[in-house]
């Protein structure tokens, strides 16, 4: 399940994910992101991940396809979690994201305010 965070403004979409995301939720989230892309051209995403996050195979596949198709519309991605493994994965992925002109960073949950400041700052 996901929730749009109330601090989402302009080209910044903040989302909190807890539990399992199904394909209907993935499609709804894609629609919201595409609405912002139409309005702003490029957007940034702040994603807060809960402790027990998952996705159906169909939703995960759709998410990957959407990300690959829309990389040119992404400016920054902030991943907020307390997972050390995810922090390491984001660090590796950030190298590849740079090739697509996307800045990507991981933040611990205690640093969410810093994540909001970073995601809202100019690139």
Question: What is the number of residues in the chain?
Answer: 123
78-92 pLDDT tens trace: 999 999 999 999 999
Distance of CA 72 to the CA centre of its chain: 14
In this structure, is residue 72 part of a structural domain? yes
Residue located via tokens 């100019």: 122
The reply to whether 25 falls in a domain is: yes
Average pLDDT of the residues in 3-11: 96
What is this structure's pTM? 0.94
For the residues 1-30, what does the mean pLDDT come to?
Answer: 95
DSSP 8-state code for residue 28: H
Could you report the per-residue pLDDT of 45-73, keeping only the tens digit for each? 999 998 888 888 899 999 999 999 999 99
97 within domain boundaries: yes
Domain membership of residue 30 (yes or no) is yes
Instruction: Determine, yes or no, domain membership for 122.
Output: no
pLDDT band for position 23 (cuts 50, 70, 90): very high
Structural domain count of the chain = 1
> Distance (Å, rounded) from C-alpha 96 to C-alpha 122?
20
Burial class (CB in 10 A: 0-12, 13-18, 19+), 84: exposed
Name beta bridge partners: 48: 16, 80
**Res 58: pLDDT:** 93
Kindly state whether residue 49 falls inside one of the protein's structural domains. Answer: yes
């Amino acid at each position: 399940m996901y929730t749009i965070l109330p601090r989402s403004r302009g080209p910044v979409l903040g989302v909190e994910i807890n539990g399992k995301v199904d394909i209907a939720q993935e499609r709804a989230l894609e629609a919201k992101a595409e609405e912002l892309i139409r309005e702003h051209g490029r957007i940034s995403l702040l994603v807060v991940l809960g402790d027990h996050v998952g996705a159906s195979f169909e939703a995960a596949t759709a998410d990957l396809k959407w990300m690959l198709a829309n990389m040119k519309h992404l400016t920054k991605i902030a991943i907020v979690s307390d997972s050390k493994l995810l922090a390491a994965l984001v660090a590796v992925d950030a190298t590849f994201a740079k090739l697509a002109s996307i800045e990507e960073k991981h933040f611990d949950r205690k640093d969410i305010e810093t994540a909001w400041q970073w995601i809202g700052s100019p690139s």
